[in-house]
Structure 1
């Protein structure tokens, strides 16, 4: 009996499947508003009305549904619980590690809040264990070089903002601001106000506005044409901001349900190819960073990592499946299957 020699092939490098996700093709698709949600940032000094205005905007975006507030302001939002027509839940926080905000957003997504409000986002920059503290802690790894500490701080900050922008619902944040004084020729010069967060962060949001001590709101950035150059005195957040913003977003657009993506990722019928295609669809919707609780482990994760995890697990199963060879007997031809020895690396 003569046995045909088993195939010899190199094992697939472990990172090859990962690269299929991370190094995808550059594919243009038709432009659409489908699935876009509102993101509003309101900044201002203490007493300008940020929290109340933010709550009103959130209640308008929620359209009668209960929403969630991530509270760093020692319960300030809860003081208005009887002043709104919409109920809301609060999550008090006393530690402001940017990674903790990602976990809080995942918890909010698990509760399926249509709107999440962060009051305020400034704490995750300059509060205890915020980004600035993370940079200060990290500098010891680089010989006390604080500038080098940003190698750790910047990715944390960026991941936090990505999770916030990819929340599967509407987002409202407040941020503290202060007067920026600069010494010029020995004299203090007022350079206007500066937000207490990463410089330029307001431009991450679809709509950004600044409030002053007179409760006057000025839009400083807006993708929504209705707000460009607009100034509102003591604005009604639900009527003046939430409604026109929603009307514009929904004009010619379809809403999407991220839970459908999660169900597709966890489906028993999912394949390596279907998961890779799903990843591309979610990527095109800018939703890879959408925070969620892992359906099995109940640990915070995001939609992109969940899909990739499932895809790589199926890839490993396929690679571990036994191969078969054909054995040809002398005389009569008999087909018989036997497992092929392990691949040669």
Structure 2
């Protein structure tokens, strides 16, 4: 009996080796970080122009990547103010496919990625809401069962955005509500007001800067960790000058940040060992980078943490 118990315990230990978190406190420091910007607004508010302009400013003139769900809307601005980017057109919006697209962008070395727009991955074809509905239908229209499958997809997509090894800008459509407002002639007229982003409730908490644009092309910063952008209201904003520049100045005022690409190189190295990968996992976890999107050597999209765990476990089992 003891031999069987030992065997079970050993298997359990192998499975849990990579989940034994490091609870060591370290001195706090402000590292250089990457921008996470969300721009939401109603149709015609100018978010599709402000998004590429902001991404261009963050990339400091280098080509950036655009994941396009808006049928080429962002491409209308190529060449304006020197904006140059490469585009990936998407027509189905499974949140797992966005994770794959981010992994491909990271592999290609893009320093900035723009998602125009993130709303499609919530309520578009094959988006999170459709994934929930498909799951519900398999479990007798049980909503709990549907969200049990949909929530991890949504969470992994957001984790991929937050751990992308470069700057990220997303646009989001706003729920449009028409309200009567008095015009300059003293008469009431209907005005489109953006009330809430078309994404899962609370998604704005995940971004460092969140801004809303109205039909008059006025941008209001709703949230900012960057003091220079706090509560700013900007009429017809220039994304590069008004958003990217003050944000970059603030982000770069810190110690050199860790480079996820270095961790990916170490994880995929031919001479990697189980013990080395176990130590690497702890290092990656301490920097909150386990969800960093990457392409495995076989071309499959995965996350840095999952890859290290799978490879390390395979090496240990093989030995």
TM-score using structure 1 length? 0.83
One of 171, 174, 180 as aligned partner of 1:174: 171
Q: Deviations over 1:102-150 (max 9, x none)?
A: 1111111111100000000000001011011011111123211234311
Residues of 2 paired with 1:202 and 1:261: CA distance? Answer: 28
Aligned match of 1:94: 91
Cα 1:218–1:8 shift into 2, 3 Å: closer
Aligned match of 1:103: 100
Aligned match of 1:69: 66
The answer to which of 68-77 and 143-152 deviates more is: 143-152
One of 280, 283, 287 as aligned partner of 1:281: 283
- 1:316 equivalent in alignment to 2:317: yes
- 1:236 equivalent in alignment to 2:233: no
One of 287, 293, 296 as aligned partner of 2:295: 293
Cα 1:130–1:243 shift into 2, 3 Å: same
1:117, 1:171 within 8 Å by CA — same for their partners in 2? yes
2:209, 2:225 within 8 Å by CA — same for their partners in 1? yes
State the secondary structure of the residue aligned to 1:197: coil
Q: CA deviation at 1:30?
A: 2.1
- 1:56 equivalent in alignment to 2:53: yes
Residues of 2 paired with 1:254 and 1:276: CA distance? Answer: 24
- 1:122 equivalent in alignment to 2:119: yes
Aligned match of 1:138: 135
Structure 2: stretches of 5+ with no match in the other structure:
180-191
Q: Deviations over 1:261-290 (max 9, x none)?
A: 112112344332221221111112211111
TM-score using structure 2 length? 0.90
1:43, 1:211 within 8 Å by CA — same for their partners in 2? yes
Q: CA deviation at 1:65?
A: 1.1
Residues of 2 paired with 1:9 and 1:209: CA distance? Answer: 57
Residues of 1 paired with 2:79 and 2:4: CA distance? Answer: 73
Q: Deviations over 1:303-335 (max 9, x none)?
A: 1112112211221133xxxxxxxxxxxxxxxxx
Cα 1:107–1:142 shift into 2, 3 Å: same
Q: CA deviation at 1:9?
A: 9.3
Residues of 2 paired with 1:128 and 1:9: CA distance? Answer: 49
Residues of 2 paired with 1:86 and 1:68: CA distance? Answer: 11
Cα 1:191–1:257 shift into 2, 3 Å: closer
Aligned match of 1:43: 40
The answer to which of 110-119 and 264-273 deviates more is: 264-273
State the secondary structure of the residue aligned to 2:263: helix
Q: CA deviation at 1:249?
A: 1.0
Say which one has the larger Rg. Answer: 1
Cα 1:8–1:229 shift into 2, 3 Å: closer
Aligned residues: 304
State the secondary structure of the residue aligned to 2:82: coil
The answer to which of 276-285 and 50-59 deviates more is: 276-285
- 1:20 equivalent in alignment to 2:17: yes
Aligned match of 1:339: none
- 1:81 equivalent in alignment to 2:83: no
- 1:34 equivalent in alignment to 2:31: yes
Aligned match of 2:206: 204
1:110, 1:292 within 8 Å by CA — same for their partners in 2? yes
Please list every run of at least 4 consecutive aligned residues from structure 1 whose deviation after the TM superposition is greater than 4 angstroms.
none
Residues of 1 paired with 2:193 and 2:140: CA distance? Answer: 35
Q: CA deviation at 1:71?
A: 0.1
Cα 1:94–1:8 shift into 2, 3 Å: closer
Q: Which has a greater percent of helix?
A: 2
Residues of 1 paired with 2:271 and 2:127: CA distance? Answer: 42
Aligned match of 2:188: none
2:165, 2:261 within 8 Å by CA — same for their partners in 1? no
Residues of 2 paired with 1:181 and 1:46: CA distance? Answer: 13
